[in-house]
Structure 1
Amino acid sequence: MKFATLAALSSLALSVAACQSEAEKQADAMEDTVERQADASAAASGDAQVALGLTERQLLDADLVTADGTELGDVAQVRRSGSTVEGLLVEIEDSNPDRYVMVPLAGLSTRADGNDTDVQTSMTAAQLAALPTATLATN
């Protein structure tokens, strides 16, 4: 019985994967690349504060929120020019396919959320959505 259940689940997983469009496959690959790059950068920066009094790992764990705590997106990468942090690459909440925008550091602050720290912006969801789609590195 266990083998039959396992075979059925494997067949279902293959069917779902086959239903994925090329655009969805590319979006998944891009998201994996963004995550790998962010993890490598966070490991390299260690415990050093890089922006807003937070480490890169803390920034990558943060959500981008409004003043009332409404989640606008997830911080996906810390973007730099040389050693200077210029902004945050944010995946817009509920975008499908995933959409990333570059949010400049100017105007951002931190906001406590229990044991976590989020990044707060004065932008609205509409203003965030109006930002140009960020160029993503593919290496």
Structure 2
Amino acid sequence: MKLTLALLAGATVLLAACNSSSADRAEDKVEDAAEATATAAGATPAALGLTELQLLDADLLGTDGTARGDIITVLRAPDGRVDRLLVEVENSDPDRYVEIPIQGLVVLTRGDSTDLVTTRTAADFDAMPAATLPTATPASTSTATP
């Protein structure tokens, strides 16, 4: 009986690790695609006077300086402008994602560090509807020629 319980507990841990690593791999693919797209976009400001790379590198903080989440990728409106960010909520387990509108975020620059500040509290983040990871295909930056 003890052996069965030990095996069951071990299998549960392994299954949880597989699911977690699968989710981590999916997130890594989205982040890699976002970075590739941001690199291709170059020095053109995307939102808030920042490039896509600067947005991806920024920390999302509350007004009290506490981390609210990690920016995974930028999201665009139908007209192509960056209008929101996909954020992994800080300390969520399992990982939880929400979409944060760009509007209302404030850029905070300290030395070489650029962060984004939101007035949303941790409770506000918990109350937001969960978002899903987009497919990890980078947007094409080339244009077709006739």
**Considering the TM-score relative to the shorter chain, is it more than 0.5?**
yes
Segment drifting more, 18-27 vs 100-109? 18-27
Q: Determine the structure 2 residue equivalent to 1:65.
A: 61
SS of the residue aligned with 1:30?
helix
Q: Determine the structure 2 residue equivalent to 1:11.
A: none
* TM-score (normalizing by structure 1): 0.79
Gaps of 5+ in 1: 1-17
| Runs of 4 or more above 6 Å deviation | none
Change (3 A) 1:19 1:116: same
Structure with the greater relative contact order (CA < 8 A, sep ≥ 6): 1 or 2?
Answer: 2
Letter in 1 for 2:72: A
Q: Determine the structure 1 residue equivalent to 2:52.
A: 56
CA RMSD of aligned residues (A): 1.7
* TM-score (normalizing by structure 2): 0.76
How many residues align? The count is: 122
Identical positions, percent = 48
Structure 1 CA distance for aligned equivalents of residues 128 and 37 of structure 2: 24
Query: Which has a greater percent of strand?
Result: 1
Structure 2 CA distance for aligned equivalents of residues 41 and 77 of structure 1: 10
Letter in 2 for 1:19: L
1:25 deviates by 2.6
* 8 A Cα contact 1:27 1:97, kept in partner: no
